[in-house]
Structure 1
Amino acid sequence: MPASPSRPQPYRVWWLVFAVILAVLAMLWGWMAQRAPEEYAPAPAAKSPSPSPTPEIPEIARQEVWTSNTVASGAYLTNTITLEPGITAPTVVPYVVNVEDTTELDPDEVAREVQATFDDERGWAGYGKRTFQLVADVDAAELVIYVTSPDTTDELCAPLETGGKWNCRNGKNVVLNSDRWKYMTPTYDDLGTYRAYLVNHEVGHFLGQGHVACPKAGATAPVMMQQSIDLGGCVPNAWPRDAD
């Protein structure tokens, strides 16, 4: 019987390549099977930084000047941080922030927002006469900014009548009703801008400024206008220099 013809050399080469590929795949499969799932799971998508928390504003607070049931404790939390003024001026006013402990507000967060208002060129420091510095020593403060419950606001503002709704300046104290800080009034649509208005308006009283009216319909409201109550035809404005 004649011998079988030998197979061509290319056939043996391709068979060897195929065997090597199978061996490599088998090794990879065994390696992946031994890894923990999280080692080769796709990485989660990067998350954007969360914005600073803001209170949920009830719908009724967009329709009327709303008063909450925040309990008055008369106990305060004072800022622990200090901040240098961002604007230089001949006179520096040291101040502290006191937040009533029932308002659920962080005094350091409030203080940062207040200092940002003071450091804006459109604010009182922008006139170049004085600037404001956050300190942590109440005894060293020439200005004390309170954020307090409606009842405590009324107490600190007396004999001024704030009716559980409004804010005041009384001596070296600027007293901001926590309901206004957290929920603003229907005259404003942006909470951050309204907070800047609160600070600038009441600190304006501390600086000797009195109330003014809307000069004419459609004009930019002066910051010393009682914008929380009524705009009188003016456009809301949080900054002293923007109405000059």
Structure 2
Amino acid sequence: MGKRVASRSRPRNGRGVRLPVLLLVLVSLCGGVALARYGGERGSRTGSAAPGAGTATGRATAAPPPATVRPGPTRTPEAASGKRSVPRSGTGTFTVARASGAAVGSGGSLRRYRVEVEDGVAVSARAAAAEIQRILAHPRGWAAHGRGRFQLVSEDADFVIRIATPDTADRLCRENGMDTHGELNCETTAGVVVNLRRWVLGSPTFAGEAAEYRHLIINHEVGHEIGLRNHLGCPGPGRPAPVMMQQIKGLNGCRSNAFPYDEEGIYISGPIVS
């Protein structure tokens, strides 16, 4: 009897006991989730807790910490484009090229020049002096056509050719009343100031290598040095630009040109613009 009574009072398959328990668990879980969501949202509104941070229920999962962003090195536009990088400023002091050579030229006054390069830049003063010496001796240059004779010296110079960082070049040019905007070269009472950026990178308007553009820099500024004060304009579409034209400011239909004379020895001129 006892066994049969016990058998009748036991729920079939245990459903009578398990169903209420299951419902209670589900209700508890839903209530906890709702409380966790309310607590997280409130925290984000009041600023007391970040979205997803733990609440009083302990059910929300803390958000992972933000990833650490490590700043990379500052890159100049030249470095970003894959070109050689040029420092914006330097020491303001210069190294004199300890080099000298024979005078070049077929006539005119002798002008002795010294080459200096700002300290701390990746340009050798001696190598720069040798390159300038070759430029002034070029068969399409000033010296080859009777506009003067030039001699590289390391002291007792008549004028100086300085290669300087953009900031230093600006300062030297500004002392002589010229604003070069960190981009241009100039000719001063002491001589020629060459912007390091132009020496290393050339010009975006010049269709040629930087080494060829250096001919234009030296020929243009030395042109001022020998007395050609005016700038020239383009003589006509498709024709070579004069070296006394400010080619970096635009060619106006002309072709890039780095030499005062053409291959036949004819001076490349144009209309006076300033």
**Equivalent in 185, 195, 211 of residue 231 of structure 2:** 211
- Name the SS of the counterpart of 1:241 in structure 2: coil
Residues 116-127 of structure 1: pairs in structure 2 closer than 5 A? 116-127=134-145
Asked if structure 2 preserves the Cα contact closer than 8 Å seen for 1:148 and 1:175, the reply is yes
How many Å separate the matches in 1 of 2:113 and 2:135? 13
Give the direction of change, closer, same or farther, for the CA distance of 1:230–1:112 in structure 2 (3 Å limit): same
Asked if structure 2 preserves the Cα contact closer than 8 Å seen for 1:89 and 1:131, the reply is yes
How many Å separate the matches in 2 of 1:67 and 1:106? 16
Q: Which amino acid aligns with 2:256?
A: P
**Equivalent in 79, 99, 109 of residue 91 of structure 1:** 109
Unaligned runs of 5+ in 2: 1-77, 263-267, 270-274
Report sequence identity in percent: 36
Residues 171-182 of structure 1: pairs in structure 2 closer than 5 A? 171-182=189-200
Tell me how far 1:144 sits from its aligned partner: 0.3
Give the direction of change, closer, same or farther, for the CA distance of 1:146–1:219 in structure 2 (3 Å limit): same
How many Å separate the matches in 1 of 2:85 and 2:192? 19
Asked if structure 2 preserves the Cα contact closer than 8 Å seen for 1:172 and 1:206, the reply is no
Tell me how far 1:224 sits from its aligned partner: 0.4
The structure showing larger relative contact order (alpha-carbon pairs under 8 Å, at least 6 residues apart) is: 1
Q: Which amino acid aligns with 1:195?
A: R
How many Å separate the matches in 1 of 2:114 and 2:254? 33
- Name the SS of the counterpart of 1:228 in structure 2: helix
Residue 130 (structure 2) pairs with residue 73 (structure 1) = no
User: How large is the Cα RMSD of the aligned pairs?
Assistant: 2.0
**1:24 paired residue number:** none
Tell me how far 1:231 sits from its aligned partner: 1.1
Could you report, residue by residue, the CA deviation over 1:129-168 in whole angstroms, capped at 9, with x for unpaired residues? 411100011xx11110000000100111012000111100
**Equivalent in 131, 148, 166 of residue 164 of structure 2:** 148
**2:70 paired residue number:** none
How many Å separate the matches in 2 of 1:109 and 1:237? 24
Give the direction of change, closer, same or farther, for the CA distance of 1:93–1:58 in structure 2 (3 Å limit): same
Tell me how far 1:127 sits from its aligned partner: 1.9
- Name the SS of the counterpart of 1:198 in structure 2: helix
- Name the SS of the counterpart of 2:256 in structure 1: coil
Residue 206 (structure 2) pairs with residue 190 (structure 1) = no
Could you report, residue by residue, the CA deviation over 1:169-195 in whole angstroms, capped at 9, with x for unpaired residues? 011310000000001111222111100
Asked if structure 1 preserves the Cα contact closer than 8 Å seen for 2:237 and 2:253, the reply is yes
**2:251 paired residue number:** 231
Scaled by the length of structure 2, the TM-score of the pair is 0.63
Give the direction of change, closer, same or farther, for the CA distance of 1:203–1:111 in structure 2 (3 Å limit): same
Asked if structure 1 preserves the Cα contact closer than 8 Å seen for 2:164 and 2:194, the reply is yes
Q: Which amino acid aligns with 1:216?
A: G
Scaled by the length of structure 1, the TM-score of the pair is 0.70
Unaligned runs of 5+ in 1: 1-56
